[in-house]
Amino acid sequence: MKNLVNKAINTENLPDDKGYFGEFGGSYLPEALETVMKEVNEAYDRISQDPTFIEELKELNEHYTGRPSPVYHAKRLSEAAGGAEIYLKREDLNHTGAHKINHCLGEVLLAKRMGKKKVIAETGAGQHGVALATAAALLGLECDIYMGAVDVKKEAPNVSRMKVLGAKVISVTQGTATLKDAVDAAFEAYLKDPVTQIYCIGSVVGPHPFPRMVRDFQSIIGTEAKEQMQRYAGSLPDAVVACVGGGSNAMGIFSAFLDDKDVALYGVEPAGKGLDTGRHAATISKGSVGILHGFKSYVLQDKNGEPLPVYSIASGLDYPGVGPQHSYLHTIGRVNYRTATDREAVEAFYALSRMEGIIPALESSHAVAYAVKLAKEIGKGKKILVNLSGRGDKDIDFVMEHYPLEEYEPEENLKDGYDEFLKHIGGERS
Ligand SMILES: *Cc1c(COP(=O)(O)O)cnc(C)c1O
């Protein structure tokens, strides 16, 4: 079927009509929600072929978000890494400071076309909530954000942002009062009234059609970057690197390169305190196949199929599942899934800040950390494109408090790998 939203659709053209990428994806929901999802899918099929929708989205992407975001050659970082040249796709420069606005604008425009009055969603650290509240304010829809009571306390600045933007923040006190309970509460609210409201999922996860739809809205990252690399760097990259939480920024940049078999693709999962500590969120690296939040994919789960508690220094990455297309791309060997620890991410956070004047989000820092390693591995003359999914302003206070480094010289330390940095920050920190 013709799809004007995603110009990067590759020859495999997945998912199939039922929302499967190989054995992954689909829709595992109570019957009432099944019907609702079918409606969303049909509406998306319609609008993804409608030139007036494409025109409206294009105008917002350009004049509101500020697209295209540039690709930038990080020369000092590349030199310090001592191998391949590193290029950054600057999603941190988007309005609201990350890639999430790309799919939120698409979802809220879709909601409006479907005649919905209200968009609802869950949020963990508040980043998806803020992006959705922004899009809802822009397009004149109401917005309810479900958030665990624990997170409401922890993420006060984002709660204030959502309120200023006109969203209602609903504090969820049941269970552990964190993200998982917020998801349950949002689904419950959706079931009560699927007519006037619509649930806007925050990554390439959830039941069909969300993994497809969110990927399509994010595919603009890869479509732009591919053209920009050819023009600015003179060729396609040899490797593309992106961090993977649910996997939306990674799918966004990967989707344009899936057919280019000479371009190696790397998804970087959070290894937290270490893969053998149990305190991580490396779903593909350490998980098994299961069902979570209405779809089939790799999941970090216990013997009974209950999701395990997960952890990462980057709150945008600590999710016990992963988008079904990632599970598929892992299974067929098209994308390589690797990990970076908290400390490696903080090292990269400082390195990029001090060598390029760019403060990356801790999520994106995982991708930068792995790219520095990979640069050494594949060597000079090669090019690596990193998706810099967001800016790090939100993380500055936390990093300064937990990893204070007065006399830190990343250029020296990078030459010796991460060992010097690890010496600087000493023992375990929470
Ligand atoms: C939310 C977030 C992520 C993780 O989400 P994905 O769906 O895996 O992209 C990564 N980076 C930033 C800056 C985020 O806000």
Confidence at 200, pLDDT banded by 50, 70, 90: very high
Show which residues are catalytic: 100, 122, 389
Q: What is the pLDDT of residues 205-242, one digit of tens each?
A: 999 999 999 999 999 999 999 999 999 999 999 999 99
Q: Please check whether residues 49 and 155 belong to one and the same domain.
A: yes
Q: Please check whether residues 292 and 207 belong to one and the same domain.
A: no
- The preferred substitution site among 107, 244, 248 for testing ligand 1, maximizing ligand atoms within 8 Å of CB, is 248
- Output the CA 132–ligand 1 centroid distance in Å: 14
Ligand 1 neighbourhood includes 127 CB (under 6 angstroms): yes
* Number of domains composing the chain: 2
Ligand 1 neighbourhood includes 317 CB (under 6 angstroms): yes
* Closest to 351 in 3D by CA, of 364, 334, 368: 368
Q: What is the pLDDT of residues 371-429, one digit of tens each?
A: 999 999 999 999 999 999 999 999 999 998 888 876 667 777 666 666 666 665 543 33
CA distance 113 to 310: 37
Residue 428, domain member (yes or no): no
Residue 45, domain member (yes or no): yes
> Domain end: 215, 247, 279, which one?
215
Mean pLDDT estimate for the chain? 93
Residue 10, domain member (yes or no): no
Ligand 1 neighbourhood includes 106 CB (under 6 angstroms): no
Mean pLDDT of 246-273: 98
Q: What is the pLDDT of residues 136-179, one digit of tens each?
A: 999 999 999 999 998 899 889 999 999 999 999 999 999 888 88
pLDDT of residue 417: 61
Residue 430, domain member (yes or no): no
pLDDT of residue 427: 39
Q: Please check whether residues 364 and 232 belong to one and the same domain.
A: yes
Q: Please check whether residues 243 and 307 belong to one and the same domain.
A: yes
- Output the CA 129–ligand 1 centroid distance in Å: 12
> Domain end: 185, 215, 245, which one?
215
Q: What is the pLDDT of residues 344-362, one digit of tens each?
A: 999 999 999 989 999 999 9
Residue 11, domain member (yes or no): no
Q: Please check whether residues 127 and 208 belong to one and the same domain.
A: yes
Mean pLDDT of 312-331: 95
Q: Are 390 and 361 in contact (CB under 8 A)?
A: yes
- Which atom of ligand 1 is least distant from the CA of 317? 4
pLDDT of residue 233: 98
Q: Residue with the nearest Cα to atom 5 of ligand 1?
A: 245
Residue 182, domain member (yes or no): yes
Q: Please check whether residues 230 and 154 belong to one and the same domain.
A: no
Q: Are 374 and 75 in contact (CB under 8 A)?
A: no
Q: Are 197 and 116 in contact (CB under 8 A)?
A: yes
Q: Please check whether residues 242 and 300 belong to one and the same domain.
A: yes
Q: Please check whether residues 177 and 227 belong to one and the same domain.
A: no
Q: Please check whether residues 320 and 190 belong to one and the same domain.
A: no
Q: What is the pLDDT of residues 60-101, one digit of tens each?
A: 999 999 999 999 999 999 999 999 999 999 999 999 999 999
Q: Residue with the nearest Cα to atom 13 of ligand 1?
A: 390
Q: Please check whether residues 244 and 323 belong to one and the same domain.
A: yes
Ligand 1 neighbourhood includes 270 CB (under 6 angstroms): no
Task: Give the list of residues 6+ apart from residue 261 with CB closer than 8 angstroms, or none.
Answer: none
Bridge partners, 267 (sequence order): 242, 337
Share of the chain above pLDDT 70, in %: 95
* Closest to 128 in 3D by CA, of 193, 36, 203: 203
Q: Give the residue numbers spanning the domain of 46.
A: 21-64+100-215
Dihedral (CA of 41, 202, 330, 361) sign: positive
- Output the CA 207–ligand 1 centroid distance in Å: 19
Residue 52, domain member (yes or no): yes
CA distance 208 to 324: 10
Residue 8, domain member (yes or no): no
pLDDT of residue 176: 84
Ligand 1 neighbourhood includes 98 CB (under 6 angstroms): yes
C-beta pairs of 374-377 under 8 Å, 24+ apart in sequence: 374/84, 374/239, 374/241, 374/266, 375/78, 375/81, 375/82, 375/83, 375/84, 375/85, 375/86, 376/81, 376/82, 376/83, 377/83
Q: Say if residue 117 is exposed, middle or buried (CB neighbours under 10 Å; 0-12, 13-18, 19+).
A: middle
Q: Please check whether residues 369 and 395 belong to one and the same domain.
A: yes
> Domain end: 198, 215, 232, which one?
215
Name the DSSP letter for residue 317: G
Share of the chain above pLDDT 90, in %: 84
Q: Please check whether residues 188 and 127 belong to one and the same domain.
A: yes
Bridge partners, 385 (sequence order): 87, 240
Domain of 394, CATH number, reads 3.40.50.1100
